[in-house]
Structure 1
Amino acid sequence: MRSIRTLTLATLTALAFAPAAFAQDSTVDTASGKHFAVVGGVSLLQPKNDPLDGVRKVDGGPAPTLSFSYYINDNWAVELWGAADKFDHRVRGTDGARLGTVEQQPIALSGQYHFGQADNVFRPFVGAGYYESNFSNEDLASDIGHIGVKTAKGAIGTVGVDMNINSTWFARADARYMHSRPELTVNGEGTGDKAKLDPWTVGFGIGARF
C-alpha cells in the first residue's frame, strides 16, 4: 500500500513539474527570428588597372566599414553598408610616376539572400543593389586646372559568408563589386571622360544580431 502511495505521489509530482520542464526545454538559444544585425569591420578597396588614358593604376587602400541589416525573415534581408571613413588612393601614370591622390567614400543599399538555416555554423549569402561613392580631396597633377571626380553611381553586387559564433555574435567575410564610371571635371566643368574604376572590396568584420 505504501509503495502505491509513493508511486502515486511520484507520478503527481512528475506531472506537476512536466509543463515547467517542457517550457524550459523549449526556450532554445537561436538566431532564428531575430530581425536586426549590425557589422563592424574593415575593407580593402582596389580599383582596376588602366582606368583612363595616361593613368596606369589607382592604388587600393583600407577603411573601416559598417553595415545595418533588417531581416524580413531568416533568409531575406535588406542591408545598408558604407565606409565609416574615406578610402585613400594614390594615382600613378603609365610610367609608374605618381600623379596625385584622391579619396572616396561609398554607401550602398542592397537586398540579400542568406542560404540555409539561421543557426547553421556557416551561412553564405549573395546580394545586389545600388550604391553611390563620393570623391573628394582630389590632388592631381595638371597644367589645365583643378581635376575633379564626380560622384560614382551604379550597381553593386555582394558575395559573402557568416560564421555563427552563437545566436547573437558572428564573423563575416565578404567581397563586393561596384560598377564605377565617374566623370572627370576640370575647374568644375564636365569633360565627358569617364574613369573605369570598377573596384572590388574584400572585407572582414564582427557582427551582432538582435
Structure 2
Amino acid sequence: MKSLFTTSALMAAMFAPAALANFHVNVGAINVNPNADSTYLNVVESVAGLPQNSSKLDVDSNTQLGLTFDYDLNDNWTLELIAATPFSHDISLDSSVGAVDGLAVGETKHLPPTLLMQYHFMDKQQAFRPFVGLGLNYTLFFSEKVSPALKNVLVSTGAATAGDDVSLHLDDSFGVAVQAGFNYKLNQNWGVHAMVAWADIDTDAEVRVNGTSVQPVTVNIDPMIFMLGARYSF
C-alpha cells in the first residue's frame, strides 16, 4: 500500500506541471446585456385597465467580475468555462402606455455558467490569437423579488390585498452559446483576454399571490455578453 501511494505521488508530481502548462485563467469585467422580449402581461393589463397587448417585460444590463478557465486540448482546441460573481437585474414594464412604461416589476439574481469548445486560429506561438467558440449555457435564477410598485398596482386594482404575499419566480434556463474573441500574449505568463458571446436564455416567470400564479409570462433574455480582462498562463 505504501508503494502504491508513493507511485501515485510521483506520477502526480510528473504530470501536474504538464497539465498546468495547458491551463489559463482570465479575470476581468464581464457585462450581460439582455435583448429582452416577453409575452404580454394580459392579466396585469386587464386588472390595471391597460389596453390589451400593450405591456411586456424588460430586463436591464449588469456588470460583474468575470472569471474564466481555459484548458488547451491541443494547439488549436480549448475548453473554456465561463463563471462570474452573481449578476443582478432589475425587471421593469415595457409598455406603450407612457404612464406605466418603466414601472418597476421586480429584480432577480442569476449565475450563468457556460462551457464552450473553442477553436484558436494561427500558430500557438503567435502573440495574437483570435478564436471562436460554441457551447452550452445553464442559468440559475435566485433571490427573485417583486417591487413595491407592482404590489401597489395589484392592491389598488383588487388583485391582491396589503397583507398578501406577492412573489416572483423564474425557472432556470438551459441553451446554446456562441462566442468570438482573442487572446494577446504580453509575455510568457501574462496577456489580454477579450470576448463577446451570445447565450440563449429563456425563462418562464410567474407573479404569485400567496403561492398561486396570477400572471405567467415567458421571457426571452438572450443577452450579449462582453468580457475584457487579464490572462494568466501557467
Q: TM-score, normalised by structure 1?
A: 0.77
Q: What's 2:89 paired with?
A: 89
Partners of 2:116 and 2:77 lie apart in 1 by: 11
Q: What's 1:105 paired with?
A: 111
Q: After the TM superposition, which residues 126-141 of structure 1 pair with which residues of structure 2 at under 5 Å, given as runs?
A: 126-140=132-146, 141=150
Q: What's 1:175 paired with?
A: 196
| Structure 2 residue matching 1:120: 3-state secondary structure | coil
Q: After the TM superposition, which residues 1-210 of structure 1 pair with which residues of structure 2 at under 5 Å, given as runs?
A: 34-53=21-40, 54-83=55-84, 85-93=85-93, 94=95, 95-140=101-146, 141-142=150-151, 143=154, 145-185=166-206, 186=208, 187=211, 193-210=217-234
Distance 1:35 1:189, change over 3 A: farther
Partners of 1:59 and 1:206 lie apart in 2 by: 26
Amino acid at match of 2:74: N
Q: For residues 97-135 of structure 1, give each alpha carbon's deviation from its aligned partner in whole angstroms, at most 9, with x where no partner exists.
A: 222211111101111001111222221101111111111
Partners of 2:214 and 2:171 lie apart in 1 by: 9
- Cα contact 1:55–1:91 (8 A) shared by 2: no
TM-fit CA distance, 1:55: 3.1
Distance 1:147 1:127, change over 3 A: same
Larger radius of gyration: 1
Distance 1:139 1:155, change over 3 A: same
Partners of 1:165 and 1:157 lie apart in 2 by: 26
Distance 1:34 1:116, change over 3 A: farther
Partners of 1:191 and 1:121 lie apart in 2 by: 53
Question: Which structure 1 residue ranges, 5 or more long, are not aligned?
Answer: 1-32
Percent of pairs with identical residues: 26
- Cα contact 2:204–2:219 (8 A) shared by 1: yes
Partners of 1:116 and 1:81 lie apart in 2 by: 23
Distance 1:121 1:179, change over 3 A: same
Partners of 2:66 and 2:135 lie apart in 1 by: 17
Q: For residues 19-41 of structure 1, give each alpha carbon's deviation from its aligned partner in whole angstroms, at most 9, with x where no partner exists.
A: xxxxxxxxxxxxxx941111111
| Structure 2 residue matching 1:182: 3-state secondary structure | strand
- Cα contact 1:160–1:173 (8 A) shared by 2: yes
- Cα contact 2:178–2:199 (8 A) shared by 1: yes
Partners of 1:190 and 1:130 lie apart in 2 by: 32
Question: Which structure 2 residue ranges, 5 or more long, are not aligned?
Answer: 1-19, 41-54, 96-100, 155-159, 161-165
Amino acid at match of 1:41: G
Distance 1:169 1:50, change over 3 A: same
TM-fit CA distance, 1:57: 2.1
Distance 1:78 1:55, change over 3 A: same
Amino acid at match of 1:107: P
Distance 1:188 1:71, change over 3 A: farther
